Each structure stands twice: as structure tokens, then as C-alpha cells.
Amino acid sequence: MPRSLRTREAAEYLGVSPGTLEVWRCKGRGPRYYKLGKVVVYDPTDLDAFREARKVFTADAMPPSSVR
């Protein structure tokens, strides 16, 4: 099982600031997380899924049959 990451580590993993993750949590956005008492931790597989879900495909990156 992958090691859980605290907010600072998760933010570094995603390339955002810890404050950004905190704001996302307050607004009910961002990657899934666990709250263990007062400690917030993230599963790296959830961080990967969050990042993958936000992938933007440009016309240059799409197969020719997908471009209109």
C-alpha cells in the first residue's frame, strides 16, 4: 500500500502550494483525502487520479480521427 502524504507533501507532489490544498478542502474541491483526528492525509493514487481527471487534450495531442 502506498504511503499517505500530509498536506505539504501532497502539495509538492501536485505542484501546488499547501494553501491551495487547504482552500480546495474548505470549498469541497480538490483531491480526496482522509482526516485522521486533526491530521489530513492523501493517498498518492487519489492524487494521481485527481491530476489525470484534469488532463487537457489539445488538437495537436489528439489522434487525427478525433480532430474536427
What pLDDT shows up at residue 64?
67
| Prediction pTM value | 0.80
Average pLDDT per block of 10 residues along the chain, 68 residues long: 88 97 96 96 97 89 64
Question: Quick one: pLDDT at residue 60?
Answer: 82
Q: What is the residue type of 67?
A: V
Residues in CB range of 9: below 8 A, 6 or more apart = 42
- What integer pLDDT is reported at residue 25 of this predicted model? 96
**5 beta partners:** 42
Q: What is the predicted pLDDT for the residue at 26?
A: 96
Question: What pLDDT was estimated at residue 59?
Answer: 82
In this structure, the dihedral spanned by the alpha carbons of residues 34, 32, 43 and 45, taken in order and rounded to 10 degrees, is: 160
